[in-house]
Amino acid sequence: MVQIYSNLFFFQVIYVDLSELVYYTSLNHRLNFIFFSWLCLIQAKKSWIFDFPKY
């Protein structure tokens, strides 16, 4: 379980770095779409982790 949370923290760090990158650089629509989809995937992953039943 600790491993999962450390991975979650790692993804959060990547998310912050990439959002700043997107903010400071103008990307084309295709890249923005891919980036958005990737963020949605991370969001889904977070939900899955937090909704996972605690045994």
Distance CA 51, CA 53 (A): 6
Place of tokens 């103008």: 26
Q: Is there a contact between 49 and 4 (Cβ–Cβ < 8 Å)?
A: yes
Which has more pLDDT, 8 or 40? 40
Q: Is there a contact between 39 and 21 (Cβ–Cβ < 8 Å)?
A: no
Q: Is there a contact between 35 and 22 (Cβ–Cβ < 8 Å)?
A: yes
Q: pTM for this one?
A: 0.31
Distance CA 21, CA 17 (A): 6
Q: What is the mean pLDDT of residues 39-47?
A: 71
Look at residue 19 and tell me whether its pLDDT is greater than 70: no
Q: How confident is the model at residue 37 (pLDDT cuts 50, 70, 90)?
A: confident
Kindly report the average pLDDT of the chain as a whole number.
62
